[in-house]
A and B are shown apart, each in its own frame.
Chain A
Amino acid sequence: KAGVTQTPRYLIKTRGQQVTLSCSPISGHRSVSWYQQTPGQGLQFLFEYFSETQRNKGNFPGRFSGRQFSNSRSEMNVSTLELGDSALYLCASSRGTSGGAEYFGPGTRLTVL
């Protein structure tokens, strides 16, 4: 079966712009979670969606938001980009029953100039 897909894979933006990242989970998986990975802070949890509902949210400012559609695809949006938002953004797909992350996507590398 197809794996987790994330688009775009690479993105360059300037400060103040906004960006939308997309994640398509494995077919049949209803949970999508998002993580930010930076050299300084490591991997940090952003939020998790299950059947279009946000079940959990990490400690990120309100500029970071997300949503999930009825086909389980998820998007995350970052508004008013800051230099510190430069990171690898990873999404994970799971059935949503174990609380874990079964499969990760390849990530979107965002660079903010």
Chain B
Amino acid sequence: GIQVEQSPPDLILQEGANSTLRCNFSDSVNNLQWFHQNPWGQLINLFYIPSGTKQNGRLSATTVATERYSLLYISSSQTTDSGVYFCAVGSAGGTSYGKLTFGQGTILTVHP
């Protein structure tokens, strides 16, 4: 099956710093999403971005499908950005309904 690798595994920042999280995937995808999991376990959908660039406030994401990677940018980080960031992909095959393959996540800690 498709493999998803995220880097770095851990990231520690001071409030106000910027960061870039990376997601590499091993095969063609028809879906790529970024999620944030807060300390209580709630997964929040940040971006649906199988290709191109999107921005939402201090967050932006870029996916280069031809090179099989995606980047999540966090600018002016805040303590509330702490948590785990997951990249998840849906393969381009016909039986991929509803199935997302998740990376292992990047644990982000933002200190005040």
Interface residues of A (CB under 8 A from B): 31, 33, 35, 37, 42-45, 48-50, 55-56, 58, 88, 90, 92, 94, 96, 98-104, 106-107, 109
- Interface flags for B84-112 (1: CB within 8 Å of A; 0: not) read 00101010000111111111110000000
Q: Are B105 and A98 in contact (CB under 8 A)?
A: no
B16-47 interface bits toward A, Cβ cutoff 8 Å, 1 = contact, 0 = none: 00000000000000110101000011111100
**By CB atoms of chain A within 10 A, which of B42, B95, B97, B101 has the most?**
B97
Q: How far is the CB of A24 from chain B (nearest CB, A)?
A: 16
**Are B33 and A56 touching (Cβ within 8 A)?**
no
Give the A-B pair count, Cβ closer than 8 A: 77
Majority SS at the chain A contact face: strand
Chain A nearest CB from B82 CB (Å) reads: 18
The listed residue (A56, A96, A98, A107) touching B99 by CB distance below 8 A is A56
Task: List chain B positions with a Cβ less than 8 A from chain A.
Answer: 30-31, 33, 35, 40-45, 48, 86, 88, 90, 95-105
